[in-house]
A and B are shown apart, each in its own frame.
Chain A
Amino acid sequence: MNDEISAARDDALAQIDAADSLDAITALDSEVIGKRSTLAMLKARLGGLPTVDEKRAAGQAINDALESVGAALSARRTEFGDAALGARVAAERIDLTEYIGRSSRGHAHVVTQAWQRLEDVFIGLGFQVAEGPEVETDWHNFEALNMGEGHPARGEFDTLFVDHVAPGDQPGRTVLRTHTSPVQIRTMLAQKPPIYIVAPGRVFRRDTPDATHMPVFHQIEGLVIDRNITIADLAGTIEAFTKAFFGADFSSRLRPSYFPFTEPSAEFDIQRPDGSWLELGGCGMVHPNVMRAVGLDPEQWSGFAFGFGIDRMAVMRHGVADIREMFTNDIRFLEQF
């Protein structure tokens, strides 16, 4: 019987070897290991063997033979399957540079991109983001900021007035905010210190548009009110911002200046790696009169504020020659960023 087993096995292996397609292998499957295969038939005859040992030995031999035939089938099946996939892959070649259509990506406005980058840097420095109305009361935009009626500094803001009249008030007391400082006022009125906010937003000045000015532009201001805040905290915060936003090889300085709502007041400049200075914005220690206007005791609290233009950050980053270009809404501009 052992010879028959070997012969059947060898015959099956030879047939498998000779098969020339996946279909042929599939057809062989039942023929060489199925119920009607020679090896299966031999199994049926095991019962006729005289001893248990012989039965066991022959049974084992048949199983071994079936296993090797099965393995051979599987190997050839894989072989043909791989070849077929290979052929399909080869036939599917395409040129990936045959690109039809154009980019469908949308674009955030370049000012928004600068705005969010600035927000993110200040959030990293522990600031919350505050917002407020763009049409403001004279009180929030000027009076609470130590610029009462007739204050000479008001003249420098080139204010746009609107015809809205608050109930019980007289005309001419509603303005388009000239800075986002009224958001500082609203925040100080709405919450108790400690306050760490930046206020980005749209602001308005009665400025004839030119390559570097728009009557409608964007600004970000910061305000900190806490116990024992000093001018050194202001300088250190400006320095940390400068390095985070512009790069570690930039630095900053403060130099004396004047704003009605801060004292001491300063301009802050940043120094580029080539040593040149760029005037960036204004800042200072919150004026005691501003604190009193919002009901904070300047003996208990102190703070600093700063502010600068957002649009200019975009202009500088991308080398835009004319700021007006950013607001034409020309898709050929918008798509560049």
Chain B
Amino acid sequence: MKILLSWLNEYGDFADPSDAAAVARLADTMTSLGLAVDGYDTIGTTVAGVITAQVKRLERHPEAAKVQRVYVDQGDGVERHVWCGAFNMQPGDVVPMATLGTRMPDGRTIERRGILGIDSEGMLCSADELGLGSDHSGIKVLPVGTPLGLPYGEALGLVPDILFDLDITRNRPDCWGYVGVARDVAAQMGIGFRPPNPTTTAVGSTITASVELLDGERCGRFTSTVMSGVRIRPSAEWMQRRLDAAGMRAISNVVDVSNYVMLELNQPNHAYDLDALGGGGFRIRTAADGEQMTTLDGETRTFTAADLLICDANDRPIGVGGVMGGLDTEITDATTTVALEVAWFQPLGVMQTASRLGLRSEASARYERGCDPYVIDTAIARFAELLSETCPELVVHAGSHDARGAGLPEQARSVMVRVAQVNRILDTNLSATDLPRLLDSIGYTVSGHGDPDGGIVGGTVEVALPTWRPDSEAEIDVIEEVARHYGYANLGKTIPKSTVHGGLTLHQQRRRQLREVLIGLGLSEAMPNPFLAPDTLAKAGLDGRAISITNPLAVEESVLRTSLRPGLLDAVAFNASHRRTGVKLFEIGHVYPPGIGELPDEFEALCVVLAGDHAPAAMAVWREIADALGIGARVDQARVPAGLHQTRSATLQAGKGPSGAVGEIDPAVLRRFNVDQRVAILELNLDEMLGRAPRPLVWKPVSRMPSSDLDLAFVVSDEVPAEKLEKAIRQGAGNLLVGLELFDVFRGAALGDGRRSLAYHLRLQASDRSLTDADIAGVRSEVIYSAGKFGAELRS
């Protein structure tokens, strides 16, 4: 909401626009009330040294094609010469001229600099150069009759002013009008508030524009007032300037007054040409499905039964209730009699219609936030008062119509407020007698001064709620008003005395630990977009079933990921394309597979990608994680997870279902993602892996006895996983085994096809004695026997 200070000052003495300190204080006051000042600008300042001058004659110079010679008169009858690069003025035009020595806003100083040896005695200015607007296409031509030789600001009646940009929250519809802002700020500043107090001009003969209100829910009140003696002409300069500051184009006196009343009182209104109004009256009804009308902006709109139409008495639509008028009944230059509509529409209905039509207007923005249905009479009178300034013969006719419907909010509403509750929420020490001072001046009228015998500390007061604050309904709403006018800055700052101790859950602690391990392994954390394109999952070789966004910003980002993999593969490809191959990335984030419950089967996942690495690198990461977090899972290479390399990947199984995957990305998938490195991958379901408490770490005594080492190499079929062989070795070695390490894998023709040698290093140790040769020989034969069950032969 733009607020022009000179306009605001109509309703109270808020600040002198030229007093910077007072303006800053006013801005702070507004912000402290919740009318946040996003910023403010000084407008209407002028450039000293620029005066009005009249073009006498124009001349071209044969050697200067881009400029012309202009001879001007500053009002003293002396003809002065300036060079000018613009060609839009004619002899007789009055233009602003910067005289010699003028310092322009851009820092230039106007000098007698000549062209072709001919001096220039000043510079003619564009609107843009003088802060009069953004037009820099030519020299600003001033209105005919502008006096000569005056500073242009004086000639145009410009005075410095301040334009505030307020961020008005949704609970303050009243502040979409000047009067609402003024009321709140005047109360806080403790200065007089002067709301407009129009008196209706002479009431003429009875002319009624009938009103037939068919939907009294959606339209709670509809008034029509006929005014004749209208003469369409431009508004006064002051009104045009104010509307311009509000960002509204001045059109004609009737339209301008309508807008002015809306900006002042936050009450939209619409003047129809009575002669163009079929049947001379209004019908307010819901639309028929498919009904059409052309709105003021020239668009043909199609309505549904959920839209409210203003129709003429012949039932022809002439406006969308609370949103926009129709094209046909627009005021024209020939209009002499208007029927003024000032109405109240139900906020939700206006919001839904405006949103469905994609049509937001100044009126709909106000109605959907909630206007004051009881300011309507003031608005009618104010309209007449302001219009009569340009239409001295204006007659307001008797017979105005005021139709009210069931949807009209009650005028008198009040709420009981417990003073103890005020103090309980605000930590204040207010008594009932303090409340009128804080509330009465903003229209929350306090009555009763507590009920000391009611058993409630501080008593209870009744607070009448203002009709312009539809958001205020309950005690807490009044407490907020008390807080605002008491001043948030005056409230205390205390720390609650909590009995709760802060901290992370087990899952959160273990997630942090996981992240530390990954970072320690040299992996960096990525955060890809969780939204995928519709074909991305299939591209990754994954199940394509997924949840979709029904109103996505772009179709390429419309599918909720069911896996972190595609995002990281894109990141690998992106980095490779920037000459960074071999990146090691991980992500911890949610994935959202479809589910049949109240919500999807969302869970937290980890994905690690190691570009340029083989599957064992991913296994190494898994082993580090498993060891650090005390978790485990079966590596099941017989179940190859979707999208992974057929012979180099495994499912990780911890509980009943798969809890992860490890291995390498399927080369076909890599090709589709434009990745030309191998990519090793590890995926875990963290809800499963981190949710469980880790294995407890119980102390095992460290043996003080000497240990012995035993190296054994087995030749075994490729079909037998090393993990199985290791398990067999452990079983065979029994409790003397304290360390087992695979230190060599060898494949060769001598061993035969499909077989390899796995060489293990065993460390043996007893807790209570030195081992004998017999002990070691015993372990050796047991291990060979146990390994033999998997067809493993000792390699000789």
Contact = CB atoms under 8 A, between A and B. Distances in A.
Interface stretch (A64-72, A77-85, A119-127): A119-127
B483 interface: yes
B549 interface: yes
B668 to A, nearest CB: 23
Interface in B15-54: 31-34, 36
A256 B599 contact: no
Interface stretch (B141-149, B474-482, B645-653, B675-683): B474-482
Contact of A136 (B351, B548, B599): B599
Interface stretch (A24-32, A39-47, A55-63, A151-159): A151-159
Given A106-B520, A215-B553, A328-B574, 19 more contacts: A109-B527, A116-B512, A126-B502, A128-B500, A150-B352, A162-B600, A202-B590, A206-B551, A216-B531, A236-B493, A240-B495, A254-B489, A255-B36, A256-B32, A256-B34, A266-B488, A302-B424, A331-B575, A334-B524
Contact of B527 (A127, A129, A267, A327): A327
A105 B578 contact: no
Interface of B: 31-34, 36, 169-172, 347-348, 351-352, 355, 368-369, 424-427, 474, 476-477, 479-480, 483-484, 488-489, 491-496, 498-505, 508, 512, 515, 518-531, 547-553, 557, 560, 567-568, 570-571, 574-575, 578, 580, 583-585, 589-590, 592, 594-600, 602
Considering residues B170, B488, B519, B568, which has the most beta carbons from chain A within 10 angstroms of its beta carbon? B488
A220 interface: no
Contacts of A128: 500, 502-505
Interface residues of A: mostly helix, strand, loop or mixed? Answer: mixed
Contact of A232 (B31, B427, B585): B427
Interface in A258-287: 258, 263-267, 285, 287
A230 B494 contact: yes
A326 interface: yes
A143 interface: no
Contacts of B476: 263-264, 287-288
Contact of A123 (B477, B494, B504): B504
Contacts of B550: 161-163, 172
Contacts, number: 245
Nearest to B575: A331
B524 A331 contact: yes
A256 B491 CA distance: 12
Query: Which A-B residue pairs are the 10 nearest by beta carbons?
Result: A256-B34, A258-B169, A232-B492, A230-B427, A329-B571, A106-B519, A232-B427, A236-B493, A123-B502, A264-B480
Contacts of B170: 152-153, 156, 258
Interface string A206-223: 101000000110000000
B144 to A, nearest CB: 47
A194 B522 contact: no
Considering residues A152, A232, A237, which has the most beta carbons from chain B within 10 angstroms of its beta carbon? A232
A231 B490 CA distance: 11
Interface in A144-203: 150, 152-153, 155-156, 160-164, 166-167, 172, 174, 176, 194-196, 202
A51 interface: no
Contacts of B479: 263-264
A52 B236 CA distance: 143
Nearest to B518: A106
Contacts of B574: 328-330
Contacts of B493: 232, 235-236, 239
Considering residues A105, A128, A208, A264, which has the most beta carbons from chain B within 10 angstroms of its beta carbon? A264
Contacts of A109: 524-527
Contacts of A293: none
Given A133-B599, A153-B170, A258 B34 contact: yes
Interface in A7-25: none
Contact of B494 (A236, A266, A328, A332): A236
Considering residues A111, A162, A288, which has the most beta carbons from chain B within 10 angstroms of its beta carbon? A162
B494 A253 contact: no
B522 A129 contact: no
B581 to A, nearest CB: 10
A206 B368 CA distance: 22
A231 B427 contact: yes
Nearest to B596: A167
A66 to B, nearest CB: 35
A137 B494 CA distance: 35
Considering residues B521, B524, B553, which has the most beta carbons from chain A within 10 angstroms of its beta carbon? B524
Contacts of B33: 256
B31 A255 contact: yes
A107 B551 CA distance: 35
23 contacts: A106-B521, A106-B524, A106-B584, A135-B592, A161-B549, A163-B550, A166-B597, A167-B596, A202-B530, A230-B426, A233-B496, A235-B491, A236-B494, A254-B489, A256-B32, A256-B480, A256-B483, A257-B36, A258-B169, A264-B476, A288-B474, A302-B425, A330-B575
Considering residues A150, A228, A240, A258, which has the most beta carbons from chain B within 10 angstroms of its beta carbon? A258
A169 to B, nearest CB: 8
A329 B575 contact: yes
A166 B599 CA distance: 6
B482 to A, nearest CB: 9
Given A129-B504, A136-B599, A334-B525, A257 B34 contact: yes
B365 to A, nearest CB: 11
A236 B497 CA distance: 12
